[in-house]
Structure formats: C-alpha cells, structure tokens
Structure 1
Amino acid sequence: MELRGHPLVHKLLSLRLPPSDYVVAGSGPLLAHGLRDEVTDLDVVARGEAWKIATDIAEPMPPPSGHGLRVVIFGGGIEVFDRWLPGTVDADELIDGAELIQGIPFCPLSAVLAWKRRSDREKDQADIKAIQDFLRL
C-alpha cells in the first residue's frame, strides 16, 4: 500500500514536519504495516521544530488523558502530542526509536502492542491479536 495516498497520511505530510522531530503513534503503525485498512485519525508525538509547527497552527490544550499537551489539526484527523501515554518512554526516546516506513517515522509495533496491552480496552483487542500474529508472538 502506498501510504502517501491515504488521506490522513497525505494531510500529515502536508504539514512538512521534519521526520527527525516526530513519530506516528497510536494505531497509525498498524496502517503502515497493512494490519488495518483504515484509521480514524493519526496520533503524532512531536518535539522541536515539529512541535513548533503544530503549535503555530493551533493552540495546545490538555488531552483527555490529562498527560502533556495536544494540538488538534484537520478537525481531529491529526492530533499532535508533546508526549505519549502515561507510563511510556519520553518523547525523545519514542521519536529516536521510530522506524521509517516509506520515509515516514512510525512507532515500532512492539511498542504499540505494549501500550494496547496496558490499556486493555475492548476496542484494542483485535489490534493486539493482529500485532501478535504479525510479530508471531
């Protein structure tokens, strides 16, 4: 699948964020690996210039988790965070550990699996199984 053709990825790339300053988290990595055909939004963790670009577009506000700050762009299609979920590594480690897929930085599936297991939400169960099957765990 050509990621750049996906409407949300296209919107993300239109922001021209420096790839060394952000990573796609949430369910975006499942899309990148072909484990999901669709996602409702892209969650992005940003620092430095990427965070500055996001905050120039919209005012940062606390996310529902109350952890850090979030900028909502494209009506919620792209959400840019200054840190990820509580209990996860800091933004620098997350971004530095990204894997490039078609030139776009994504969180490794092993990290996504850990968050989804920890949150243990009903809506994540299918993703957990898909990642486990893909990684042969």
Structure 2
Amino acid sequence: MTALLKHPYMQKLLSLRLPRQHFAVAGSGPLFARGWISDPGDIDVVARGPAWRIARQHGEATPAPYSDVQRLKLFGGQLEVLDGWFPEVWSVNKLIDEADIIDGVRFVQLSVVIATKKRLSRPRDVEHLNIMEAHGCRT
C-alpha cells in the first residue's frame, strides 16, 4: 500500500467501500496525492449514483456552503462527500469520468482544482495556487 493510501483520511475514505468508478477526490486532495502539500486539511469527495447512495448511509446530508449540492460531513469533518462540485460549471459525471487516477483512486483534474481555488480565493486557496504554479501548472 502506498503512502497516499495509508494516510488516515484516505483510509477513512476507503473504509466506506465506495465503488471507485463513481467518485473522485476534489479540493486539495489532488495536490496531496501528488505530494505537493503534506496536509490536505480534509478530503472532499464528489460522488454519484452508487457511491452517493452508500455514503448517505453514513450520515445526514446538508446543503453545501458554496454551491447547490448536498454534502455529508463524516469522521468529524475529516471527510466530506458531495453529490456535485459547482454544478453550474461541471457535471458530476464529467468530473469523475475525466479524473486522473493515482494509486487506483480518482482525483479531479488539476484544471478543476485551479478553477475552484480561483473561485473561492481563500488564503489557503491562494497558497495552493502558488504551489501549483511552482510545479508547472498554468494558473
């Protein structure tokens, strides 16, 4: 098992036994998966169909703060599972189907991370955009 998959947050995600073809890690997760940051803060997961139905068995869905989607905060907030990711910009199917696969887990494309972090523009997002630029991403 890789260091990425051994991380406690990833272990919690994998413990849900979501079908891997039906979810993708978003937020800062793609940077963490590449080793560009050491602490993702939490793991944001975009889930559809079977993965969303399984995740809902583990918590109460509430409205997400930044978009018209539902989210589940699991494991004390260390894991957030959402049924979409800024649906006014991306379809959940596109995000998941076009995701990069790292260690057998889907992670949304870096272009999605850049667009999301530019949109939110919180201090941590600006820091992550700088890190991505240092790794050759055009931000």
* Matching residue of 2:3: 2
Q: Map of 1:1-137 to 2, 5 A cutoff? A: 2-85=3-86, 87-137=88-138
Asked if 1 retains the 8 angstrom alpha-carbon contact of 2:41 and 2:78, the reply is yes
11-20 vs 58-67, which deviates more? Answer: 58-67
Structure 1 runs, 4 residues or longer, greater than 6 Å off: none
Separation in 1 of the partners of 2:136 and 2:112? 12
Give ranges in structure 1 of 5+ residues lacking alignment: none
Tell me how far 1:118 sits from its aligned partner.
2.2
TM value normalised by structure 2:
0.91
Tell me how far 1:86 sits from its aligned partner.
5.2
Secondary structure of the 2:101 match is strand
Separation in 2 of the partners of 1:87 and 1:123? 23
Say what the alpha-carbon RMSD is for the aligned residues.
1.4
Give ranges in structure 2 of 5+ residues lacking alignment: none
